[in-house]
């Protein structure tokens, strides 16, 4: 009986928090914004399957293009980035799995210096009431960070 209880407790505490980390980096010399989102891969997979009514397996995809398409569409739907007052299109670069997380990569051309960054997100909120997002934005070496928790969905930074 105690072995069963220990197994239940271990399973319950295996993933006790829901957080993503989104890094946004702008370099005026590169004239682009690079975005990387770090999300527990099981959370992302659940959200993709729930949102797209699919049965995708991120770790062992039958067709990687299906995962790429689903991630791109999910981010397009639930993450909006505005720079200097203009909504940007996130160009999906790809994803990779590292330990328990999925790294999702995007780029945005940014020809003008980045002065104002606004982010709207509802990622994973439909699946996890305790979802949090940590944002790190670095503009030409100057870094700002903030955190929001469901249901908050808006972040504004000025450089």
- Burial status of residue 10 (CB atoms within 10 A of its CB: 0-12, 13-18, 19 or more): exposed
pLDDT in tens, the chain (159 residues): 443 333 333 333 456 789 999 999 999 999 999 999 999 999 999 999 999 888 999 999 999 999 999 999 999 999 999 999 999 999 999 999 999 999 999 999 999 999 999 999 999 999 999 999 999 999 999 999 999 999 999 999 999
Q: What is the pTM of this model?
A: 0.88
pLDDT of the residue at 3: 36
Q: Which residues of 122-134 are buried (b: 16+ CB within 10 A; e: fewer)?
A: ebbbebbeebbbe
As a whole number of angstroms, the distance between CA 62 and CA 80 comes to 29
**How many Å apart are CA 102 and CA 45, to the nearest integer?**
9
| CA pair distance 150, 127, nearest whole angstrom | 11
Identify the three-state secondary structure at position 13: helix
> What six digits make up the tokens of 139?
């503009």
**Residues 86, 82: Cα–Cα separation, whole Å:** 5
Q: Read off the pLDDT of residues 38-73 as tens digits, 9 standing for 90 and up.
A: 999 999 999 999 998 889 999 999 999 999 999 999
């Amino acid at each position: 009986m105690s072995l069963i209880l220990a197994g239940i407790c271990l399973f319950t505490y295996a993933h006790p928090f829901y957080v993503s980390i989104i890094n946004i980096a702008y370099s005026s010399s590169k004239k682009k914004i690079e975005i990387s989102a770090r999300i527990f891969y099981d959370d992302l997979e659940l959200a993709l399957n729930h949102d797209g009514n699919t049965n995708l397996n991120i770790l062992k995809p039958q067709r990687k293009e299906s995962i790429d398409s689903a991630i791109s569409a999910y981010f397009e739907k639930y993450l909006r980035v505005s720079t200097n007052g203009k909504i940007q299109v996130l160009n999906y670069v790809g994803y990779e799995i590292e330990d328990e997380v999925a790294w999702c990569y995007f780029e945005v051309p940014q020809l003008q210096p980045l002065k104002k960054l606004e982010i709207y997100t509802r990622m994973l909120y439909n699946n996890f009431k305790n979802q949090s997002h940590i944002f790190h934005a670095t503009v030409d070496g100057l870094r700002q960070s903030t955190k929001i928790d469901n249901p908050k969905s808006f972040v504004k930074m000025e450089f």
